[in-house]
Amino acid sequence: MNGILLGIADVVEWLLWAYRVLILAATILSWVQADPFNPVVRAVRALTAPVFDWLRRRLPFLVQGGLDLSPLAAFLITLFLDKALVFNLRQWGLPH
């Protein structure tokens, strides 16, 4: 059972890291005039836009004037989950 929890912690950590990379890519793509028909651009937006939209609906103060802070909030949430969730999974997976 310990090995399973450690393996799950590793997978969750990797998934959270990959999602942070997608958030950074989406942020950079919002700054440039990326081709909206490019499959990579479409994939990045399809994977990040629902989370950004959900955050904007739940936390309307994230949009101030023309500045959208939902990518920053999503990035910070994934960092928190990485530190809290992965740490606890590893602690539970270690032998006592």
- Using CA atoms, how far residue 94 sits from 2, 13, 88, 89, 90, in Å, is 6, 16, 10, 9, 6
pLDDT at 22: 98
Residue 93, in any domain of the structure = no
Residue 13, in any domain of the structure = no
Residue 92, in any domain of the structure = no
pLDDT at 95: 75
Using CA atoms, how far apart are residues 67 and 22, in angstroms rounded to an integer?
A: 19
DSSP characters over 65-80:
TTEE-HHHHHHHHHHH
Which range of residues forms the domain containing residue 53?
A: 19-84
- Using CA atoms, how far residue 37 sits from 33, 40, 64, 76, in Å, is 12, 9, 29, 29
Residue 24, in any domain of the structure = yes
Residue 11, in any domain of the structure = no
pTM above 0.85, yes or no: yes
Using CA atoms, how far apart are residues 67 and 84, in angstroms rounded to an integer?
A: 29
Residue 41, in any domain of the structure = yes
Residue 90, in any domain of the structure = no
Q: Give me the tens of pLDDT residue by residue for the chain, a chain 96 residues long.
A: 778 888 999 999 999 999 999 999 999 999 998 999 999 999 999 999 999 999 999 999 999 988 999 999 999 999 999 999 999 988 888 776
Number of structural domains in the chain: 1
